Amino acid sequence: MTCSLDDTIVAIATPLGEGGIGIIRLSGPEARPILERLVVPARRGGHGWQPWRLTYGHVREPAGGAVVDEVLAVWMPAPRTYTRQDVAEIHCHGGYAPLRRVLELCLEAGARLAGPGEFTLRAFLNGRIDLAQAEAVVDVVRARSRVGLQAAVGQLEGRLSKQVRETRAGLMAALAHLEAAIDFPADEIPAFDLEGALTVAEGRLDQLLAGADEGVLYRQGIRTAIVGRPNVGKSSLLNALLGSERAIVTPFPGTTRDTVEETALLGGIPLVLVDTAGIRRTADPVERLGVERSERAIAAADLVLLVVDGSEPLTPDDRAIADLARGRPTVLVVNKADLPPAPGMEAPFAGLPTVHISALTGEGLDRLERAVLETVLGGRVHAGEAPLVSRPRHAEALRRARAHVAAALEAHREGWPEDCLAIDVRGAVAALGEITGETVSEDLLAHIFGEFCIGK
C-alpha cells in the first residue's frame, strides 16, 4: 500500500446525514494555508490562528464571498497531532449540503481526498502508533459491548504491543546468540541461557493465547442462527432476546421469508442473531428462496439455536433441520413451555444441550443464556481485565510464533545445530513483528486499512 506523506489529505470525519455537527479534517503541510483561505474569523485582527483553540467564523465562496456555513475551526501544528502532521478541522453544521461544499472547496484549494483509514495510516507511518494500535482505532469505533470496548481501548493504549515487544525482544536476543554461534568460535561468545530464553517466550505466548478465543468473541460476536420449521416461535424468541418487537409474529406459517439480523448482549458477548425463514418442503418459490438462505445461515453460523415446538409431536421437518445443523455447535430450544408438553420431545436429539422456554412469557430465557455461554465459552464469562488479544489476525500470528518457539526448543534439546534453530527463532520474531508492524507487507497494510471508513 503506497502512501505519500508530502501532500495534504482531506475527508469528512463524521457520518453523513443530518446532525448537529459535521467535521472536515485535513492533514499535511497545506492544512493551515487551506484553513486560512477558506475560513474567515468573525473577529478580525487579534493574534491570528492560535494552536488548539477553536475559532468562530464563516466559510465563504472564493468567488463573490457568499457564506457557505457558520463554523468553528481549529489548527493543530505538528508533531502533537493524530497524524504527527499539521492538522486542521472545520466543524460545520451536520448536513449533506454544507459538508459536501466545504469538502469541495478544500479539494479546490489543493487538498487530496483521503483514502480509507489514511489518517490512521499516516499516524502509523509517522511512528505515533504501531500497527496493533492502529487496528484498535477501528475496533473502538465498532465495539459492540463494554468488554469489547475495554479490549479495544487497552490495545489502543499499547497493552498488547508492550507484551508482544517484550517477547520479541527476548527472542531477538536468542537469535543474536544463535547467529553469533554460527559465525564465531564458542569460546568467543558470552554465555547465554538459550533454553531459558525460549521457555520464557513460550510461556508468554501461552498467556497471550489463553484468552484469545474469548477476546475474538467479545470483539466480533457470535453469529447465531435461529432455525426451525415454520411457526415454532423463532421470531418470538428473537424478540424475547432483544426485548423488542423486531420480527413480525403471526399464527400463520411462513411469515418470515428472509433472514433478519439483530445483535443482543448475552453475558457481555454480542450475539449476532439471525432469524431465518422456517425450513420446510414448499412449492412457493419466494418461500423456497427464504429456506435456501436459512440453510446458508446455518452453514455460516458459529452457533445454532434449533427451535422446536414442545407442545406438538416432532415432524420429519424437525429431524431434517437437525441434520442440517449437525456438526455445528447447537442448543436445542424447546419452545412453548407454557403449553402442555408433547411426549418424547428430546429423544431424537440426545447429546444436545437442551433448554425448555416460553418465548411468549420469558420463562427459561435465563437458562438459555447459561446454555449458550456454556456451549461457546465453556461457561466462562468476563471477569476482571479485558482480554489482550481480540483480533483473529493477532491470534493467528501468535500461534505461528508459538509453534516456531516450540520447534526451536525441541531442536535445541535434541542437539540440532544453531543454524537450524535460528530458522525457527527468526520465524517467531517475524510473526510477532506482523502484529506491531516491524515486519509488514504492503498487501497486509492495504487489507488492514481497507477496513477503515474514509475520514479516520
pTM of the model: 0.81
Residue with cell 457558520: 70
Predicted pLDDT of residue 189: 79
Q: Are the C-beta atoms of 315 and 344 separated by less than 8 Å?
A: no
CA of 24: how far to CAs of 6, 74, 91, in Å? 19, 11, 7
Predicted pLDDT of residue 242: 85
Q: Are the C-beta atoms of 308 and 341 separated by less than 8 Å?
A: no
Helices then strands, counting H and E runs in the chain, come out as 15, 13
Predicted pLDDT of residue 250: 38
Predicted pLDDT of residue 126: 95
Predicted pLDDT of residue 143: 87
Give tens-digit pLDDT for 29-78.
Answer: 999 999 999 999 987 765 568 999 999 999 999 888 899 999 999 999 99
Which residues lie across from 263 on neighbouring strands? 272
Report all structural domains of the chain as residue ranges with CATH numbers, in order of start. 9-129 (3.30.1360.120), 133-211+389-436 (1.20.120.430), 218-377 (3.40.50.300)
User: How far is Cα 334 from Cα 357, in angstroms, rounded to an integer?
Assistant: 6
Helix (H, G, I), strand (E, B) or coil at 60: strand
User: How far is Cα 78 from Cα 51, in angstroms, rounded to an integer?
Assistant: 10
Radius of gyration of the chain (CA): 29
Q: Which residues of the chain have pLDDT under 70?
A: 1-3, 45-48, 187, 244-259, 277-291, 293-294, 346-347, 379-385
Planar angle of CA 441, 445, 446, nearest 5 degrees: 115
Q: Are the C-beta atoms of 153 and 140 separated by less than 8 Å?
A: yes
Predicted pLDDT of residue 89: 97
Residue 68: its H or E element? strand 67-76
